[in-house]
């Protein structure tokens, strides 16, 4: 299986480097160019492209310098808000990259124009880069796309194959599950997963990748239709979307 490299940056961001063919690689969400360039030069990696999931600076600030130094192409959504793009992509766009194929999934909500990148590859499980839309155990805050868009986007992602590996933009896993346990304290799978994540963090290991299957069982924002979740919130008769809005609201003020 090809290696999926990650470079921690800016505190809790993850920048990903994927070698799709030999040492040719693309980068996902470079909030900072320097650690990427350093990693690439140390490992003999040739950067051919950059993918942005959304407009926030901590996912795009490295674009210019990476292009300047490597000549790579910058790919992403929303040229109006990410002026450094060379190629603008849209929902459903598919393109081959060596032996792999990337499909663009439009997932607005965190901002107006987020996308996720779903990759199929010959030598391993599919991969999903989720930026700030779906986190390990959580989802992005609402910075422009609106709650209904985010809710629908998460449903879309949850319909991907369960074995899909999820690589997100920040290390928030343990914190997200600490919150989830206040809502669904009797979920045994969630309890075990929280311990697992705490252990990983104790050893400074990243909590990525997760999988779509694990997220469906432990990510509270994908569980707005579950009875215990509704009941904790006193929303037994409510629609999952309204439950989701309340889950997001409470998380925003969770300490």
Task: Report the catalytic residues.
Answer: 54, 56, 58-59, 110, 132, 170
**How do 115-120 and 127-131 pair as beta strands?**
antiparallel
**Segment interacting with Fe ion (CB under 5 A) among 8-16, 125-133, 192-200, 225-233:** 125-133
Tell the smallest beta-carbon distance from residue 106 to Fe ion (Å). 16
- Shorter beta-carbon distance to Fe ion: residue 52 or 187: 52
Contact pattern for Fe ion over residues 19 through 58, marking x by CB under 5 A: -------------------------------------x--
- Shorter beta-carbon distance to Fe ion: residue 56 or 193: 56
Please select the residue that binds Fe ion; options are 29, 32, 78, 132, rule is CB under 5 A.
132
Three-class secondary structure assignment of 136-163: CCEECCCCCCCHHHHHHHHHHHHCCCCC
- Whether 150 and 141 have beta carbons less than 8 Å apart is answered as no
- Shorter beta-carbon distance to Fe ion: residue 56 or 67: 56
Rounded CA-CA distance 42/38 in Å is: 6
Residue 120's Cβ-side half-sphere holds a number of Cα atoms within 13 Å equal to 7
Tell the smallest beta-carbon distance from residue 229 to Fe ion (Å). 25
| 78 is a site residue for Fe ion (CB under 5 A) | no
**Segment interacting with Fe ion (CB under 5 A) among 8-16, 71-79, 129-137, 222-230:** 129-137
- Whether 228 and 243 have beta carbons less than 8 Å apart is answered as no
- Shorter beta-carbon distance to Fe ion: residue 113 or 218: 113
Tell the smallest beta-carbon distance from residue 110 to Fe ion (Å). 6
Count, residues near Fe ion per rule CB under 5 A: 2
The tokens for 39 are 């990693």
Beta carbons within 8 Å of 137's beta carbon, 6+ residues apart? 172, 173, 174, 176, 177, 180, 193, 197, 210, 215, 218, 219, 220
- Shorter beta-carbon distance to Fe ion: residue 56 or 230: 56
Rounded CA-CA distance 22/35 in Å is: 21
The tokens for 109 are 């909500």
What does the binding site for Fe ion look like in residue numbers (CB under 5 A)? 56, 132
């Amino acid at each position: 299986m090809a290696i999926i490299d990650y470079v921690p940056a800016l505190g809790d961001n993850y920048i990903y480097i994927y070698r799709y063919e030999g040492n040719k690689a693309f980068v996902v969400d470079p909030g900072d160019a320097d650690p990427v360039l350093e990693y690439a030069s140390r490992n003999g990696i040739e950067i051919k492209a950059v993918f942005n999931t959304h407009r926030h600076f901590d996912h795009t600030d490295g674009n210019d310098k990476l292009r300047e130094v490597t000549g790579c192409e910058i790919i992403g959504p929303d040229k109006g808000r990410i002026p450094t793009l060379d190629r603008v992509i849209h929902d459903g766009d598919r393109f081959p990259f060596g032996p792999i194929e990337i499909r663009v999934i439009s997932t607005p909500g965190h901002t107006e124009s987020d996308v996720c990148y779903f990759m199929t590859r010959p030598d391993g499980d599919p991969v999903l880069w989720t930026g700030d839309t779906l986190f390990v155990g959580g989802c992005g805050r609402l910075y422009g796309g609106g709650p209904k868009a985010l809710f629908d986007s998460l449903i879309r992602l949850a319909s991907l194959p369960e074995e899909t590996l999820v690589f997100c933009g920040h290390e928030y896993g343990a914190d997200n599950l600490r919150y989830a346990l206040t809502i669904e304290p009797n979920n045994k799978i969630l309890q075990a997963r929280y311990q697992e994540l705490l252990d990983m963090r104790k050893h400074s290991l990243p909590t990525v990748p997760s999988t779509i299957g694990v997220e469906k069982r432990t990510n509270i924002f994908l569980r707005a239709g579950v009875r215990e979740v509704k009941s904790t919130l006193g929303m037994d008769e409510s629609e999952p979307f309204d439950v989701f809005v309340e889950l997001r609201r409470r998380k925003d003020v969770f300490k």
